[in-house]
Structure 1
Amino acid sequence: MGVLRTRTKQKQIHAFICLCIVGFIFYKYLGFFQSSSQTDLKKMRKMGLNTNLSQFTLDGKPFFILGGSVHYFRVPRPYWRDRLLKMMACGINTLTTHVPWSLHQPEKGVFNFHTQLDLEAFISLAAELGLWVILCPGPYISADMDLGGLPSWLLRDDSMRLRTTHPGFIQAVNTYFDKLIPKVVPFQFHKGGPIIAVQIENEYGSFAKDEKYMLFIKEALWSRGIREVLLTSDKSNSFKLGGVVGALRAVKLRKMNQRIIQELNSVKPNKPFLVMEYWTGWYDTWGELHHVLPPEDTVSTVRNILRRGMSVNLHMFHGGSSFGFMNGADSDLSYKALVSSYDYDAPLSEAGGYTAKYHLLRDLFSQFRPEGNSLPDMPKLRYSDSYETAIMYQHLSLWDALSFTESPFTSSKPVNMENLPANNGNGQSYGYTLYETTITSGGILQSGDNVRDCALVYVDKKYIGLLKRKILELAVPDGKEERTLSFLVENRGRVHRGRNLDKQRKGLVGDILFNGIPLRGFTTYSLDMKFDFIESLNQASWKNLPETPSFPGFFMGRVFVYSYPSDTFVKLPGWGKGVVFINSLNLGRYWSVGPQQSLYLPGPFLHSGVNQIVVFEEMEGDYYVHFEDSPDLGMEVEID
């Protein structure tokens, strides 16, 4: 009996040992296949976007880029996911986004890649959702931004030549890229990320001041680890001037025709075609009408592009808003500043709403899905709401607010905004600047076009008129005693494109003559109206709103939200021109000349309960601010 038990135990041990051996072999066998699978994946990940044939391939398979542009810095971060899901539901497979140097490096030694400007989080979200990414890191991006997204502190150098190999510009770009590029390198396709292509600069063919510049930017990207497809993007009339060896040339357009096709074929035969920017709409400028492009025209052109076997990126798919003082300006014929809304008549509206253009494009893109692979469901819309009208009940004159600015700067001659010692010696980028001096007589002011962009002029705090680009003279009332002469100068937005970027300094950029003699002895206040400044005004001695308040001035009111905050639209009928702040956040400019008659106020900018609204008004106001559930972008005109 004892022998039998011993043999049984030996068999059990033998079986256990065999099982362990089999398990070990199975483990190694499985590990081999896992290793092989990972190796194959890595091999495939090296097969990124291929441009060596007449058709793009990705992972070695034919691939159409159905792209759409969304600027993360123009969309409230809580809405990033919503906007990207709506892109995917339309049939978009590739997100294109630009990177604004001016926002990421507001001062020479200060970088910001947090919260609203967390580029890595935005790219990670795209990857999570299954979108490919085309990244446009600049340094110049245009994007219809102030100075095309270049930081204004570059203009402190009087010899600066932007977008060239000027030593000062090259040094600044290298410092910026040293911070930016390492953040995006891990997101490249060959490293398992979503970035399949990177654009070199933007539309350099229409600038083309330095033949070495594009090569410098290309090498700056390459040397820092960018290994995906590089591309350039230009309009057809400057297509040949904007390219660089080793980069795919893409085109920007609104209409497709045979001439453009021939132009493309002559420059890059047997290469895939990409319309990097098909313009779905256009921006608006103050004093004009709201530009729209009929949905049928949009879809007709996109269908024409796709039928020719070309890839396309919709610019913009969703425009969003130029919150604060982000907007650029146009100067094709004369200077015109862009409005705060960047709705762009895009397929997805400023507030993320579906448009007729969206639905037609969704139908079109659904035809390019593999059989049996339907589009995702369209996300539910977030409803806008109206709130009770806010009554402005307190007032603070501009003059009483000056003590909350940085210490005033004194100088003999007027100093432009960029060269002021504000912001740790980086100058002033946006907003208003107040210049004050003294006079002892009446006479004639002559600006000589040295006011950029408009100056409200005061004598002893009383308004006497304005100076701007087309108004170069102003009479000053007689008076023999010493009086204070003040110029409140507004930067309405630096030009965002063209060959005169170097000349975009703001404020008083030269002498102002008084009776033929240059004014001297200035005290200058920087009024860039940042978040901290508006917050600090809570400590000011606000007064109950008088019957006849002084202008310019700040007006305070409250808006109550009794539940979870929804999007709404701020409307200011009866007000003249100024800026709106909600809970100290700068929503943007308003101006009665239109076309824009409302400011988009996203729900995340509000909180349940009491919200503070501050309005800075230059000239006049009716002291009521309305919150409605629909936008008003002004009277429409079709884009020519």
Structure 2
Amino acid sequence: MSSFGIHAGQFIYEGQPVQIISGAIHYFRIMPAYWEDRLLKLKACGFNTVETYIPWNLHEPKEGVYSFEGISNVVEFIDIANKLGLFVIIRPSPYICAEWEFGGLPAWLLEDSNMRLRCLYRPFLDKVDAYYDVLLPKLRPLLCTNGGPIIAMQIENEYGSYGNDTLYLEYLKQGMIDRGIDVLLFTSDGGADHMLQGGSLFSEVLATVNFGSRPEGSFAKLAEYQPDKPMMCMEYWNGWFDHWGEEHHVRGYEGVADELNRMLQAGASVNFYMFHGGTNFGFYNGANYFHQYEPTVTSYDYDALLDESGEITDKYLAIQKVISRYIDLPSVTLPEPIQKRSYGTVRMTEQAKLFDQLDQLSEPVLRTCPETMEQLGQDYGFIFYKTKVSGPRPKSKIVLQDVHDRALIYLDDIYQGVIDRNNHDHSLEIQDHDIAVEIPEQGATLGVLVENQGRINYGWMLKDPKGITEGVRLERQFLYHWEIHTLPLDDLSNLAFEQIQECDTPVPTFYKGLFQVDEVADTFLKLEGWTKGVVFLNGFNLGRYWSKGPQKTLYVPAPLLHAGENELIIFELHHTLDPIVTFEKHAELG
């Protein structure tokens, strides 16, 4: 049993003052086989603590169904950190942000259209309580008060950026205490008055601040509210993340090193966000909404101290040098470098067109109105709506009211174009970017394939149901009676592939190719000439690609490959002129 707390404005561990130098590593963005590699590198850099969020949606993917195995095995991750002599800070709050799908909240919460998130609303609290009844008993034996490495735990994340319901914060705090959590509890918020006022419980819980620069200003603001407790930056943003269509973010190490030096010199504690970013595998990338909807890319490289594949960067070396001025670096034998290989070109040899495979992927449901993914019990992926439209009708504008997030439109299976939530106009006037169709006398079938590109993870637009949220119109007239296929793409085993054939018009298609690997190693998949879609390697969803960039390669960790034959399936939404891909030794992120 050990004690960690606060005395005379300092953190105290076992009666001695301690300065926390922490780095964020998200176990859920890294293959478990690499957890120890990343944690060893953290310790070798001079860090004494690792911090991680716990995403609710990963651990309770369906209500009442829990997952704590494989990449979800947070207990094993903490055990490895403990074995290496690291402190652990855990952030298991219901909401985590983290550029993660829905900020870690499970999508099934939105099956209830009346749900109120992150406040003292009993239906939401009941779901949190059920989750905590399962999660917190797994963490309790790992607390420092029980001989484990966990020294502190967060009750909510950047809540002052969202709301001011301090009764809700009190409820979460008491719920942790009632379930045996007796370590230091904290909140983290931006260093602004309204954020600290809305997100903190100063008399009972340590408040910490998040920032990417000018530490003195944020610490001064925190001291106005909390003058008698340690200064800690819970998120020092030493890099940044990317949205599709933006430039890749890079931040030089000189300023980062200088700001760290100033924080340590002032006696403050710090958590680098991120020390190692990792990857948004599958459909777990989040999105932002400030002026428009902005989905996050698959890579979560973050321009951190370790790159996406875990390699040491110049920023790592610069930070290690700063830390060495304050402590003697631990004697750590670094693991052997992880091998990178270029496996060359792989040609896709088989295809399965989506519209021929709908019944293999899901049972259709009939609804009077289009319904959202959540209303139909679906969390991620795609959803396809189809209805018969009578004719004849003159050229008429198609209006989706509203679409979340990106819809491909088909008339009698012929591609008409894309409707995107950012630029879709509900008026009757036909603009250049609108889709308008003529319906022949015999009528036609209208199809709408909607991609969930990631639920919003931050801010006032957090409640973000996916699919068609209200209805579909031709001009003023709503269309009714829809056949709907949910397409989570979590099982592709029933797809019926055939030899690749030429196609004159874009059709969403699954492409399959096999390739041989003699020795498994990390590699990077480049999809030059492909447009937009998702990649599955040996049944594992690697994530999304999109020709608009900035990301041009998908990271492929060696544990996902087999010595011998491997299967690659690419779901391409639009078209590729030549269905080949290349496995390269280096990432291309911008």
TM-score, normalised via structure 2 length: 0.95
Counterpart in 2 of 1:366? 324
Query: Where does residue 370 of structure 2 map in the other structure?
Result: 414
Q: Does the 8 Å contact 2:389/2:439 carry over to 1?
A: no
Q: Decide whether the 8 Å contact of 1:91 with 1:375 is kept in 2.
A: no
Q: How does 1:4-83 map to 2 (within 5 A)?
A: 42=1, 45=2, 48-83=3-38
Contact 2:111 2:374 in 1 (8 A): yes
Aligned to 1:116: 71
Alignment partners' CA distance in 2, 1:511 and 1:487: 12
Query: What is the aligned partner in structure 1 of residue 339 from structure 2?
Result: 383
Cα distance between partner residues in 1 of 2:414 and 2:583: 32
- 1:620, 1:98 → 2: CA distance? 38
Deviation digits for residues 68-119 of structure 1, max 9, x if unmatched? Answer: 0011010001111111111111111101011010011111121111111011
Which structure 2 segments of 5+ residues have no match? Answer: 426-433
Query: Which residue pairs with 1:402 in the alignment?
Result: 358
- In 2: Cα distance, 1:223 partner to 1:256 partner: 38
1:467 to 393, 401, 419: 419
Match of 2:121 among 163, 166, 183: 166
**Aligned equivalents of 1:528, 1:353: Cα separation in 2:** 33
Does structure 2 retain, via aligned residues, the 8 Å contact 1:366–1:375?
no
Structure 1 partner of 2:384? 434
The question of 1:288 aligning with 2:241 is answered: no
Partner of 2:198: 241
Higher fraction of strand: 2
Cα distance in 1 for residues equivalent to 2:454 and 2:276: 22
Q: Is residue 142–residue 148 contact of structure 1 (8 Å, CA) maintained in 2? A: yes
Query: Any conservation in 1 of the 2:164–2:197 contact (CA below 8 Å)?
Result: no
Which shows bigger deviation, 273-282 or 546-555? 546-555
Compared with structure 1, are the counterparts of its residues 448 and 432 closer, same or farther at alpha carbon in structure 2 (3 Å cutoff)?
Answer: closer
Give the corresponding residue for 2:509.
553
The farther-off stretch of 442-451 and 484-493 is 442-451
Counterpart Cα distance in 1 of 2:401 and 2:25 = 37
Checking the alignment, whether the CA contact within 8 Å between 1:388 and 1:559 is kept in structure 2 is no
Query: Partner of 2:428 in structure 1?
Result: none
Q: For residues 358 and 330 of structure 2, what CA distance do their matches in structure 1 show?
A: 60
- Selected match of 1:278 from 227, 232, 236: 236
Instruction: Provide, for residues 497-551 of structure 1, a one-character-per-residue CA deviation record: whole Å limited to 9, x for no partner.
Output: 002222x001000011113111101010011111xx22332xx2x1111122761
Deviation, structure 1 residue 448: 5.3
Aligned position for 1:491: 452
Contact 1:51-1:248 within 8 A present in 2 as well: no
Q: Tell me if 1:515 matches 2:449.
A: no
CA, structure 1 residues 590+152, in 2 after alignment: closer, same or farther (shift >3 Å)?
Answer: same
* Structure 1: runs of 5 or more not aligned: 1-41, 421-426, 635-640
Amino acid at match of 1:465: G
Whether contact under 8 Å (1:69, 1:96) holds in the other structure is yes
Query: Do residues 526 (structure 1) and 476 (structure 2) align?
Result: no
Answering whether residue 214 of structure 2 is matched by residue 256 of structure 1, we say: yes
Determine which of 461, 481, 506 is the counterpart of 1:500: 461
Query: What CA distance in whole angstroms lies between the structure 2 residues aligned with 1:536 and 1:583?
Result: 15
| Bigger shift: residues 205-214 or 553-562 | 205-214
* CA apart distance, 1:252: 0.3
In 1, the alpha carbon distance for the partners of 2:219 and 2:501 equals: 65
CA contact (8 A) 1:577 1:617 kept: yes
Report the RMSD for the aligned CA atoms in angstroms.
1.3
> Which residue of the partner structure matches residue 205 of structure 1?
160
Task: Specify the alignment match of 1:97 in structure 2.
Answer: 52
Aligned partners of 2:208 and 2:291: how far apart in 1? 27
State how far apart, in whole Å, the 1-side matches of 2:450 and 2:237 are.
34
> Comparing 433-442 with 331-340, which one deviates more in the overlay?
433-442
After superposition, the C-alpha distances for 1:286-312 in whole angstroms (9 at most, x for unaligned) are 000000111111111111111110000
Q: Is the 8 A contact 2:401 2:472 kept in 1?
A: no
What percent of counterpart residues are identical? 40
Question: Counterpart of 1:290 in 2: which secondary structure?
Answer: coil
Q: Is the 8 A contact 1:67 1:96 kept in 2?
A: yes
Asked whether 1:87 is paired with 2:42, we answer yes
Quote the residue 2:271 is aligned against: 313
State the partner residue of 1:341: 299
Instruction: Give the direction of change, closer, same or farther, for the CA distance of 1:611–1:487 in structure 2 (3 Å limit).
Output: same
2:429 aligns to what? none
Match of 2:431 in 1: none
Q: Report the 3-state secondary structure (helix = DSSP H, G, I; strand = E; otherwise coil) of the residue aligned with 2:503.
A: coil
Larger helix fraction of residues: 1
What's the CA shift for 1:240? 2.8
Q: Quick one: which of 127, 148, 152 aligns to 2:107?
A: 152
Residue 133 of structure 1, CA deviation: 0.4
1:568-607 matched pairs, under 5 angstroms: 568-607=523-562
Question: Is 1:478 paired with 2:439?
Answer: yes
Partner Cα distance (1:57, 1:430) in 2: 44
Classify the secondary structure of the residue corresponding to 2:166: coil
Structure 1 residue 630: Cα displacement: 0.1
Q: Distance in 1 between matches of 2:440 and 2:12?
A: 77
- Counterpart of 2:261 (choices 266, 283, 303) is 303
Paired residues of 2:209 and 2:219 also in contact (CA < 8 A): no
Give distance in 2, aligned partners of 1:466 and 1:120.
44
Amino acid at match of 2:327: R
Shift of 1:211: 2.9
* SS of the residue 1:121 aligns to: helix
Deviations 1:259-315 (A, max 9, x none): 323212111112111110001111100000000111111111111111110000000
Number of equivalences = 574
Following superposition, the deviation at residue 250 of structure 1 comes to 0.5
Residue 21 of structure 1 is matched in structure 2 by none
Higher deviation after alignment, 439-448 or 390-399: 439-448
Q: Who is 2:349 aligned against?
A: 393
Name the CA shift for 1:413/1:296 in 2 (closer, same or farther; >3 Å). same
CA distance change for structure 1 residues 448 and 557 in 2, over 3 Å: closer, same or farther? closer
Partner of 1:616: 571
Give the Cα separation in 2 of the matches to 1:375 and 1:314: 21
- Amino acid across the alignment from 1:522: W
SS at match of 1:196: strand
The answer (yes or no) to whether the contact 2:512–2:570 under 8 Å persists in 1 is yes
Contact 1:389 1:559 in 2 (8 A): no
Counterpart amino acid of residue 534 in structure 1: L
Structure 1 position 256, deviation (Å): 2.3
Secondary structure of the structure 1 residue equivalent to 2:292 = coil
Letter in 2 for 1:201: E
Contact kept? 1:90, 1:375, Cα under 8 Å: no
Q: Which residue of 1 aligns with 2:287?
A: 329
Opposite residue 429 of structure 1, the aligned amino acid is D
SS of the residue 1:467 aligns to? strand
> Quick check: which has more Rg, 1 or 2?
1
Which position in structure 2 is the counterpart of 1:4? Answer: none
Q: 1:381 deviation in Å?
A: 1.6
The answer to whether the Cα contact below 8 Å between 1:449 and 1:468 also exists between their aligned partners in 2 is no
Take 1:449 and 1:337, find their aligned partners in 2: how far apart are those partners?
20
Can you list the C-alpha shifts for 1:1-43, whole angstroms capped at 9, x where unaligned? xxxxxxxxxxxxxxxxxxxxxxxxxxxxxxxxxxxxxxxxx5x
Q: Tell me, in whole angstroms, the C-alpha distance in 1 between the residues paired with 2:476 and 2:184.
A: 59
Task: Return the letter of the residue paired with 2:240.
Answer: W
Are the counterparts in 1 of residues 43 and 330 from structure 2 also a CA contact under 8 Å? no
Cα distance in 2 for partners of 1:415, 1:341 equals: 31
Contact 2:382 2:451 survives alignment (8 Å)? yes
